Amino acid sequence: MIPYKRLKRDLVQRGRIIDFYSDTIEIEGGKQTNFDFINHKGAAAMIPVDEDGKILMVRQYRNAIDQYTLEIPAGGLNEGEDCRSCAIRECEEETGYKAGKVEHLIDLFTTVAFSNEKIGIYYTTGITPSNQNLDEDEFVTFEKHSIEDLTKMILDGKIVDAKTIAGILSYKAKVGIN
């Protein structure tokens, strides 16, 4: 295995959600190279399941890919907040439903080549109606879908968000849906 040693990390740009750094790395033979690094505060997501087994999904515009996406509710951790609490909060804010029984599914790093963003993914049953409470710059609608329809949308390339794909397929495996 080739040894890597970080020699320095320089802040290039501080953002609202991420900070962008340039890392100087020493590689084999004493050579140096630069890697881009994006520091992320962490995030959490929730798969809300209603009494009929339908999953509440959110549809929203994503600037990075200039399109609307269908996703599980998710968002960034607030200062001092843990993943579970964040997932519960985001579920209610984005769908207008309070979480009931909450179970952990999976943790994942979204893009290991250049970011440390880690998302904790949970699911909840026994949801109850509440009020949607979106951020000022959020315009989100929610939809209900069966696990079968969501799996088909994933395989047909209609769902492209990595956390949603991992979350839905993990949920399907965890609860034993064929």
Residue 32: φ, ψ to 5°:
-120, 145
More confident residue, 120 or 131: 120
All CATH 3.90.79.10 domain ranges of the chain, comma separated, are 41-174
CB neighbour list of residue 140: distance below 8 Å, 6 or more residues apart: 58, 59, 60, 94, 132, 134
CATH of domain 41-174: 3.90.79.10
- Write down the pTM of the prediction: 0.91
pLDDT average, residue stretch 136-160: 93
The 10s digit of each residue's pLDDT in 33-46 is 999 999 999 999 99
Which position has the token pair 């000022």? Answer: 136
pLDDT average, residue stretch 101-107: 97
